[in-house]
Structure 1
């Protein structure tokens, strides 16, 4: 496939072919609004779109944000994805000078997953961040294989290796092969809640008993409290650092 991979440059209409990549409940995180409502205005050069030159259709996209961070790259914040978005938004509003870039998402068109495009887009993101003058890319990675081990503690999952010493998780493995280094776990990377009726509408599940609820696509069970009429999702991610 002959791809044109470049900053978005006003081509958001092509995103339509990338719909359907996430379970509905994953689109309800309120922190994401700070980024996805404004990324084309605030950070267009950090968003890459891959287009198949033969068809003119988008096949993948990659989102990242610049932010100001002076902490240790060996111990990144527990609040992961939410932290990266909030920090980038506040820095943009305050005029703070960014020192580092955080990846937020690499989305592959559903019919093309498993074809190696994720590695191509990660490489393009690394190259783009370096071209923009940054030496460090961090990523609160959502390990794709964790959904099949929903009750496995994230710290133990992050340490699972194959016989060749590479991570057992496929998405972590792509990052490590590209030169990334697993740093630490962001235990509360994405946190949001809703009423039980909202969760029923998002998932099609009854949410009728207090306790953990296993939802397809989630990395950990959702915390359900019938008496309080709410359920809360706390998603862990795994921080990876790419030195460019």
Structure 2
């Protein structure tokens, strides 16, 4: 299929799949490089759906050779700027809300569900550049608010640490220890709402064995490479289950409620944890709890 607007495919620029449909195969190739490998396989249905019905908000960053450097999966939704109003079900809920918003014609927010950087380009700060561009991309689509679903990628190295405790970990300056959370925070995104079951996936045991080249001798939780928490294998049901918690974040300007600003604190180092608490995620000693 030829590109509908060749000008949108100029090297080094952003374009939507509606403008450059010929890049779809490249998008799929970039997303297939995800870690863990089952993420691409188990979210394929949602991606296929978005490629059919929401091409205007499936965005690609092209390099100087017009190859896909980064992919932003996003949908237009309606959001009131409150924590309670953010999609409680994470990515799947965002896709469902986009359908409703399209039917009602009242979308006002660009909900970013996923950001993927091509494997060969990782480690060059491209993800931070994408984050900086998101407000402009939302404005380009005539959407006044921005909401970003954040997966703390570094947690794959600490899959047994509770999500709330990991997310709240900071360095001496108060900066989140997770690199992707830190990048979002430094770009002015604030925590809005934690989602315990943002990504939910089920597949037959044979699929899990194929993805990881190993057998599962008994039912129970298993640590699998790239996952941010254990997967659960149930041989009796011939099923492997996995669910990931994520964190919605947004610019302060998008929030309807007052939020924590570093300048208002006696200790600026406390800003991240205070912002998490305002979003309903609190850590107490060795225990943690997440509140909607």
TM-score computed with the length of structure 2 as normaliser = 0.74
Query: Residue 117 of structure 1: CA displacement?
Result: 0.4
Contact 1:17 1:59 in 2 (8 A): no
Task: Identify the residue that residue 33 of structure 1 maps to in structure 2.
Answer: 45
1:12 to 24, 46, 57: 24
The residue that corresponds to 2:69 in the other structure is: 59
Q: Contact 2:170–2:177 (CA<8 Å) still a contact in 1?
A: yes
- Equivalent pair of 1:211/1:223 in contact (CA under 8 Å): yes
- Counterpart in the other structure of 1:111: 120
Query: Computing the radius of gyration over CA atoms, which structure comes out larger, 1 or 2?
Result: 2
Q: 1:71 to 1:179 in 2, by over 3 A?
A: closer
Tell me how far apart the structure 2 counterparts of residues 14 and 124 of structure 1 sit (CA, whole Å): 21
Residues 109 and 143 in structure 2, CA contact (< 8 A), matched pair in contact too: yes
Which has the higher relative contact order, 1 or 2, with Cα contacts under 8 A spaced 6 or more apart?
1
Over aligned residues, Cα RMSD in angstroms? 2.2
Shift of 1:52: 1.8
Which residue in 1 is equivalent to 2:183? 174
CA 41–210 in structure 1, closer or farther in 2 if over 3 Å, else same:
closer
Residue 129 of structure 2: aligned partner = 120
- Distance in 2 between residues matched to 1:57 and 1:77, nearest whole Å: 33
Residue 162 of structure 1: SS of its match in structure 2? coil
Superposition deviation, residue 223 in structure 1: 1.4
String of CA shifts for 1:74-122, please: whole Å, max 9, x gaps: 6634421121122213433x34421322101111110111101001112
Q: Quick check: 1:82–1:190 contact (8 Å CA) kept in 2?
A: yes
1:87 to 89, 97, 105: 97
Which runs of 5 or more residues in structure 1 are unaligned? none
How far residue 191 of structure 1 moved from its aligned partner, in angstroms, is 0.8
Aligned length: 239
Give the superposition deviation at 1:40: 4.2
2:4 corresponds in structure 1 to: none
More helix by share: 2
Quote the residue 2:37 is aligned against.
24
Task: Map 1:1-244 onto structure 2 (within 5 A).
Answer: 3-8=12-17, 9=19, 10=21, 11-15=23-27, 18=30, 19-29=32-42, 33-34=45-46, 36-53=47-64, 55-70=65-80, 72-73=82-83, 76-92=86-102, 94-242=103-251, 243=253
**Secondary structure of the equivalent of 1:3?**
coil
Tell me the equivalent position of 2:5: none
Q: Conserved in 2, the CA contact under 8 Å of 1:102 and 1:137?
A: yes
Shift of 1:149: 0.5
